[in-house]
């Protein structure tokens, strides 16, 4: 089953706009003014928009909603599951139409726009010190803007390199590659065996990120101290030249601009790809779809330094919400230990709270530990307004280099110019 | 009430419901776009200060926009002319009386029954480099030795998108042409035969001129539809790689919903509308002029 | 039939074969993939024939895409918008076909203009409009009526064009004869004109139905809860932004969404052409 089952009765999502007040008014009329406050509480419906992570996402949140409603009579939780591709559009139109949900999952990289436009509600007034203390600080930080917390880390992942043990053992790297030179040496051998060496993503979301792995590994940075982009550096050129060389020597899959992250993961599951850098959720997919595959996980290869990309998704409350109290109660409920453990197990994300991290399932999980251990060296996407424009410029640049339409240095320069122009606006 | 006013009253009442409904749906969104195009607008459609023509200046300064305008013209021109070129002979054949004519007509119309979005999804899957049936078939009959990465570069992806565009446009145009052909009385062909005109001559002298109004209609409607068509390119390549298949609609969608620049997206909408209006005005005028004896 | 006719038929099919093969290709792909078990779908190299026929994909897809509900929604929205579009377009088309009046040219220009505005350009404005109109306990957002009205509005131009050029071919004398027999003008229209106009209305209705059935951008924006989503939105949801795409289910869904319309086409094909023959250009 892919998406949520049909709720028995689904009234228009915008019911809350009027229904709370209307029912309250009716109630007041019928029962007298004394009944006013309880009536509001009884009518509260919390609209929650969640991102589709996997087939398990919808059922999980439905289950949470049902459990919450049981202990909070009078509050109804309505869950809408939206695909990542549409999530931004859905929230944008909802807000511009004046009918946002009460809480929603968003990409943390969008958070700044939500805060600057006054759409997200600061959560500090709801948070007790004990609640704040539930989180692993490094994951709470990206949701903090101007000293206030706007987003809670609902999902977190970091990146590491998955390698096919059979192929890499034959290539002489039974424990996986450590440096880019190892990657190249192994890929050459794997190519001779008729498989693809290094999986290089060249299409759609996170095509830019795939190049940041190399950029950071050479000590490069995305943004400079002056608020302008800094990826057109020597490290940037080196990183892009590295990838381009691998493309030219046939050490990657052919036609890299035809491969999304999911396509690479599929190649890997089929045993046709030697190495791929991706998130921990591939572990779960392999267990389900290719249980016989022998593979290992090692840190992202180093150029001059060790690094990785860490990313969180945030759950935010909307300023326009009329049921903030109930919405907060639901958030509080979501971030209790057992609920979080279940979510992280389902989706293959890293623990964002201390209690979950201490759970034996995660403590004893060697594969996940590779990712967790990388966190101190992790880079997050910079919190700047209009970040999508920078990502877009980078994607255009790396794609034209992979396609042989531009040289690394020139392409990065063009991207930097256009990204800076977009950021200046 | 004067006589002429009274005469105009009844027809105006008759068109009123449709006019009001269309206006009701279109007026506000159109006003919304026009307003956003001259304001600074946040990602969430919140209006900032008056921007004058800044949004327009910005898109015209964007090299991607300029390249996209040209590509959109190529896309529209190629799909529409390709559709007409395929549809003409196909309609001529389908207009003949032959065994299985009804079946043939149904088969030609078939793509119409699949929504554009779903068509694009199926074709994307068919052209998948590793698991798609195009590569599999071409390899099994020996045309290809290695799988081709069709969507990896614009030089293969864009022509494929144009072909898919043609394929899904053919049914509509064939239907129009068949309608046109069946409205041509058959006795004029007999007269032409008696005068000694061959089949080729009949086509150039009779069929084509008589079909002209139908061809014009097909061209105008198709230009509008294809120019504004979103699903094929969005599903198959999202305008990539490296902007190589971007057309104006996908560019606009990206500006509005991915890059958070609705003001500029609104400016693109108006630019698109202007291009279409210029085209239809010129085309309709040219057709009217050449239609005069 | 004689031999000459057979040879001609063969020639006709030969000329059509490239196009027909291309047309059938996606259907072959849909059927092939829809019947494959998951392991076959990503097998390399891929093969046309499944290792075994996995009809379970249809069951899985039916659940995953909430297919039954989506089918009903698509039907309601398409039929509703068709009915509304025809209802307002028939009088307008009659006016255009029978009367010349001041404002006629303007009205035609206006219709052309509405055709040039693709819904995708207007989608944010449409959403804001819907969000500002109270309906039931909420607004028109996430309601089927919120789709029916704009769909109908965008169909008016085409419907009026087709209907009016068809209406113009219906001889005026018939109505005039009815007047002479003492029929009122309105009754003459209802008794004499409308029955003759029915085929044109049917053909126009098919067009508007198909367009509503296939629309995507507005439906994606307006509909939120799974109980309201249409087929197109649900099928695309199986593909867009998923960490893994189950192509066998996706193809099963496209196939199941396509077959009803394809059958409708096969059945109505000859009427379609006939309707357009009279209607398309005047």
Least CB-CB distance to B43: which of A92, A255, A405?
A: A92
C-alpha triplet A160, A166, A170: angle, nearest 5°:
110
- CATH class of domain segment(s) A158-310+378-424: alpha beta
The angle at the Cα of A92, spanning A87 to A94, to the nearest 5 degrees, equals 95
Q: Which residues from A are below 8 Å from C220, CB to CB?
A: 86, 89
Domain ranges of chain A: 15-156+311-372, 158-310+378-424
The string of pLDDT tens digits covering residues A95-119 is: 988 889 999 999 998 999 899 999 9
Name residues whose C-beta falls within 8 Å of residue B15's C-beta, 6 or more positions apart in sequence: C91, C92, C95, C96, C107
Q: Which residues of A touch B259 (CB under 8 A)?
A: 386, 388-389, 392, 422
Chain A residues with CB under 8 Å of a chain C CB are 1-7, 10-19, 22, 52-54, 78, 80-81, 83-87, 89-90, 93, 96-99, 262, 265-266, 269-270, 272, 281, 285, 289
At residue C272 the predicted structure's pLDDT band, cuts being 50, 70 and 90, is low
CA A155 from centroid of its chain's CA atoms: 7
A chain contacts of residue B129, beta-carbon cutoff 8 Å? 254-255, 258
Spatial separation of the C-alpha atoms in residues A15 and A82, rounded to whole Å: 19
Q: Which helix (H) or strand (E) holds A152?
A: strand A151-158
| CB within 8 Å: A3 and C65 | yes
- Sort residue C51 into left (φ over 0), alpha (ψ -120 to 50) or beta: alpha
| Cα-based distances in Å from B82 to B109, B180, B250, C155 | 17, 19, 22, 26
- Chains B, C: CB pairs < 8 Å: 277
Q: In chain B, what are the domains? A: 62-291 (1.10.3720.10)
Q: Which two tokens stand for residue C169?
A: 């071919």
Segment A4-59, tens digit of pLDDT: 222 333 333 333 333 333 333 333 333 334 344 444 445 699 999 999 988 889 99
| Residues of chain A contacting B130 with CB distance shorter than 8 Å | 263, 266-267
Shortest Cα distance from C221 to chain B (angstroms)?
A: 11
Find the CB nearest B259 among A255, A388, A400.
A388
ipTM, two decimals: 0.89
- The C-alpha of C274 sits at a distance from chain B's nearest C-alpha, in angstroms, of 6
Distance between CA atoms of B256 and B44, rounded to whole angstroms? 10
pLDDT digits (tens, 9 = 90+) for A79-94: 998 888 889 888 988 8
Q: Is A410 on the interface with B (CB under 8 A)?
A: no
The reply to whether A425 touches chain B by the CB within 8 Å rule is yes
List residues in chain C touching A: CB distance below 8 A.
Answer: 42, 44, 60, 63-66, 69, 123-124, 127-128, 130-132, 134-139, 141-143, 220-221, 224-228, 237-238, 240-246, 249
Distance CA B160, CA B168 (A): 12
b/e map C136-147, b = 16+ CB within 10 Å: eebbbbbbbbbb
At C184, the pLDDT band (50, 70, 90 cuts) reads: confident
Taking the CB of residue A46, how many other CB atoms lie within 10 A of it? Answer: 29
In a structure prediction context, what are the per-residue pLDDT tens digits for chain A, which is 425 residues long? 222 222 333 333 333 333 333 333 333 333 334 344 444 445 699 999 999 988 889 999 999 999 999 999 999 999 998 888 889 888 988 898 888 999 999 999 899 989 999 999 999 999 999 999 999 999 999 999 999 999 999 999 999 999 999 999 999 999 999 999 999 999 999 999 999 999 999 998 899 999 999 999 999 999 998 889 999 999 999 999 999 999 999 999 999 999 999 899 989 999 999 999 999 999 998 998 899 999 999 999 999 999 999 999 999 999 999 999 999 999 999 999 999 999 999 999 999 999 999 999 888 889 999 999 998 899 998 888 888 899 999 999 999 999 999 999 999 999 999 999 888 87
Q: Which chain B residues contact residue C275 at CB under 8 A?
A: 179
User: Residue B264's pLDDT is what?
Assistant: 93
The pLDDT of residue A301 is 97
Give the model's pLDDT for residue B10: 84
pLDDT at res. C135 = 85
Tens-digit pLDDT profile for residues C218-229: 898 888 888 899
Across the interface, do A86 and C240 touch by the CB < 8 Å criterion?
yes
Interface test with B, best of C111, C116, C278 (most B CBs within 10 A): C116
Taking the CA of residue C181 and the nearest CA in chain B, the distance in Å comes to 22
Q: How far is B37 from chain A (nearest CA, A)?
A: 15
Rounded Cα distance, A250 and A245, in Å = 9
What would the pLDDT profile of C32-71 be if each residue is shown by its tens digit?
Answer: 999 999 888 877 788 899 988 989 999 988 988 889 999 9
**DSSP string of A88-112?**
HHHHHHHHHTT---SEEEEEGGGHH
Asked if B42 lies within 8 A of A117 by C-beta distance, the reply is: yes
Q: Where are the alpha helices (DSSP H) in A72-197?
A: 84-96, 111-116, 129-133, 137-140, 165-170, 180-192
Q: Give Dmax (Cα) for chain C.
A: 78
Give all chains having 3 or more CB-to-CB distances under 8 Å with chain B: A, C
H helix or E strand, kind and range, residue A312: strand A308-317
CA distance C75 to C72: 5
The CA distance from A12 to A19, in Å, is 11
CATH topology of domain A15-156+311-372: D-Maltodextrin-Binding Protein; domain 2 (3.40.190)
A158-310+378-424 has the same fold as A15-156+311-372: yes
In angstroms and rounded to an integer, the radius of gyration of the C-alpha atoms of chain A is: 23
User: Searching chain C, which residue's CA lies closest to the CA of residue A279?
Assistant: C243
Residues of B with CB under 8 A from a CB of A: 42-46, 58, 129-130, 146-147, 149-153, 238, 240-243, 254, 257-261
Task: Give the burial class of C163: count Cβ atoms within 10 A of its Cβ; 0-12 exposed, 13-18 middle, 19 or more buried.
Answer: buried
Out of B18, B125, B224, the one facing C29 most closely (by C-beta) is B125
From B21's Cα to the closest Cα of chain A, the distance in A is 21
CB–CB of B260 and A113 under 8 A? Answer: yes
* Chain C residue with the nearest C-alpha to that of A13: C142
Query: Which segments of chain B have a pLDDT < 70?
Result: 1-7, 289-293
pLDDT at C40: 86
Return the bridge partners of A158, or none.
Answer: A310
| C-alpha to C-alpha distances, A100 to A13, B43, B54, B144, C99, nearest whole angstrom | 10, 14, 29, 52, 49
In this structure, which CATH number among 1.10.10.60, 3.30.300.30, 1.10.3720.10, 1.20.1530.20 belongs to the domain C58-279?
A: 1.10.3720.10
Q: What share of chain B is helix, strand, coil (3-state, %, to 5)?
A: 75, 0, 20
User: Does A267 contact B130 at a Cβ distance shorter than 8 Å?
Assistant: yes
Q: C52 exposed, middle or buried (CB, 10 Å; 0-12, 13-18, 19+)?
A: exposed
Residue of C nearest to A347 (CA): C243
Where are chain C's structural domains?
58-279
Q: Is the pLDDT of residue C28 over 70?
A: yes
Residues of chain C with C-beta less than 8 angstroms from the C-beta of B104 = 12-13, 16, 20
Minimal Cα distance from A54: which residue of C? C243
């Amino acid at each position: 089953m892919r998406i949520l089952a049909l709720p028995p009765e689904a009234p228009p999502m915008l019911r809350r706009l009027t229904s709370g007040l209307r029912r309250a008014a009716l109630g007041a009329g019928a029962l007298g003014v004394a009944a006013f406050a309880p009536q509001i509480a009884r009518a509260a419906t919390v609209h929650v928009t969640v991102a589709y992570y996997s087939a398990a996402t919808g059922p999980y949140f439905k289950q949470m909603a049902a459990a919450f409603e049981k202990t909070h009579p009078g509050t109804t939780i309505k869950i809408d599951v939206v695909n990542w591709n549409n999530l931004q559009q859905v929230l944008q139109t909802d807000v511009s139409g004046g009918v946002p949900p009460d809480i929603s999952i968003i990409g943390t990289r969008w958070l700044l726009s939500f805060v600057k436009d006054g759409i997200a509600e600061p959560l500090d007034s709801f948070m007790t010190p004990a609640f704040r203390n539930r989180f692993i600080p490094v994951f709470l930080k990206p949701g903090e803007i101007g000293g206030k917390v706007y987003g809670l880390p609902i999902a977190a992942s970091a990146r590491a390199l998955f390698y096919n043990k059979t192929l890499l053992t034959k290539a002489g790297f039974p424990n996986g590659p450590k440096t880019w030179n190892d990657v190249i040496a192994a890929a050459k051998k794997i190519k001779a065996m008729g498989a693809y060496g290094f999986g290089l993503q060249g299409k759609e979301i996170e095509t830019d990120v795939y190049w940041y792995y190399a950029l950071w590994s050479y000590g490069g940075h995305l943004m400079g101290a002056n608020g302008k982009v800094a990826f057109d550096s020597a490290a940037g050129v080196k990183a892009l030249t590295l990838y381009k060389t691998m493309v030219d020597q046939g050490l990657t899959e052919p036609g890299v601009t035809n491969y999304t992250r999911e396509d690479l993961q599929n190649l890997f599951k089929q045993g046709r790809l030697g190495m791929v850098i991706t998130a921990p959720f591939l572990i779960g997919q392999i267990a389900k779809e290719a249980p016989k595959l022998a593979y290992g996980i090692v840190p992202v290869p180093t150029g001059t330094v060790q690094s990785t990309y860490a990313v969180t998704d945030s759950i935010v409350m909307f300023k326009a919400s009329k049921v903030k109290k109930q919405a907060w109660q639901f958030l509080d409920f979501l971030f209790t230990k057992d609920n979080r453990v279940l979510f992280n197990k389902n989706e293959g994300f890293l623990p964002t709270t201390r209690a979950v991290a201490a759970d034996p399932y995660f403590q004893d999980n060697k594969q996940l530990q590779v990712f967790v251990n990388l966190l101190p060296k992790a880079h997050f996407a910079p919190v700047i307004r209009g970040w999508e424009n920078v990502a877009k410029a980078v994607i255009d640049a790396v794609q034209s280099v992979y396609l042989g339409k531009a040289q690394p240095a020139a392409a990065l320069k063009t991207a930097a110019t256009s990204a800076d122009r977009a950021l200046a606006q | 009430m004067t006589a002429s006013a009274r005469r105009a009253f009844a027809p105006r009442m008759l068109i009123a419901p449709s006019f009001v409904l269309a206006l009701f749906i279109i007026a506000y969104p159109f006003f919304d776009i026009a307003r956003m195009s001259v304001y600074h607008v946040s990602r969430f459609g919140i209006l900032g200060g008056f921007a004058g023509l800044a949004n327009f200046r910005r898109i015209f300064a964007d090299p991607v926009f300029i390249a996209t305008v040209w590509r959109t013209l190529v896309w529209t021109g190629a799909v529409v002319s390709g559709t007409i070129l395929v549809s003409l002979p196909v309609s001529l054949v389908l207009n003949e009386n032959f065994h299985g004519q009804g079946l043939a007509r149904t088969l030609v119309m078939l793509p119409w029954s699949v929504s554009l979005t779903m068509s694009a999804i199926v074709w994307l899957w068919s052209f998948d480099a590793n698991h798609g049936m195009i590569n599999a078939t071409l390899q099994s009959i020996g045309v290809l030795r290695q799988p081709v990465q069709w969507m990896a570069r614009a030089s293969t992806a864009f022509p494929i998108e144009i072909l898919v565009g043609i394929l899904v446009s053919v049914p509509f145009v064939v239907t129009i042409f068949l309608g046109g052909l069946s409205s041509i009385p058959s006795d004029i062909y007999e007269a032409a035969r008696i005068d000694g005109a061959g089949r080729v001559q009949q086509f150039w002298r009779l069929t084509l001129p008589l079909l002209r109004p139908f061809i014009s209609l097909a061209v105008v409607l198709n230009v509008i539809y294809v120019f504004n068509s979103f699903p094929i390119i969005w599903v198959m390549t999202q305008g990539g790689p490296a902007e190589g298949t971007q057309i104006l609609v996908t560019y606009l969608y990206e500006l509005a919903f991915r890059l958070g620049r609705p003001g500029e997206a609104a400016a693109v909408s108006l630019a698109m509308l202007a291009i279409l209006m210029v085209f239809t005005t010129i085309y309709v005028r040219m057709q009217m002029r050449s239609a005069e004896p | 039939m004689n031999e000459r006719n057979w040879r001609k038929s063969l020639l006709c099919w030969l000329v059509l074969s490239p196009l027909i093969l291309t047309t059938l290709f996606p259907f072959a792909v849909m059927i092939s993939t829809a019947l494959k078990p998951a392991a076959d779908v990503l097998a390399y190299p891929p093969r046309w024939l499944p290792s075994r026929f996995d009809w379970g994909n249809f069951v899985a897809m039916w659940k995953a895409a909430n297919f039954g509900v989506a089918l009903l929604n698509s039907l309601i929205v398409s039929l509703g918008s068709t009915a509304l579009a025809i209802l307002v377009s028939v009088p307008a088309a009659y006016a255009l076909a029978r009367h010349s009046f001041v404002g006629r040219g303007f009205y035609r220009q206006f219709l052309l203009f509405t055709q040039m505005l693709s819904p995708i350009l207007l989608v944010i404005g449409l959403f804001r409009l819907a969000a500002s109109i109270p309906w039931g306990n909420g607004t028109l957002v996430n309601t089927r009526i919120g789709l029916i009205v704009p769909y109908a509005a965008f169909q008016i131009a085409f419907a009026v064009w087709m209907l009016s050029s068809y209406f113009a071919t219906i001889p005026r004398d018939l109505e005039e004869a009815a007047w002479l027999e003492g029929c009122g003008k309105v009754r003459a229209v209802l008794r004499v004109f409308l029955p003759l106009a029915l085929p044109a209305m049917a053909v126009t209705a098919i067009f508007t139905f198909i367009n509503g059935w296939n629309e995507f951008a507005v439906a994606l924006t307006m509909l939120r809860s799974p109980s309201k989503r249409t087929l197109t939105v649900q099928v695309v949801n199986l593909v867009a932004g998923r960490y893994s795409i189950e192509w066998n289910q996706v193809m099963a869904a496209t196939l199941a969404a396509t077959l009803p319309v394809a059958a409708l086409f096969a059945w109505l094909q000859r009427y379609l052409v006939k309707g357009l023959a009279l209607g398309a250009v005047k």
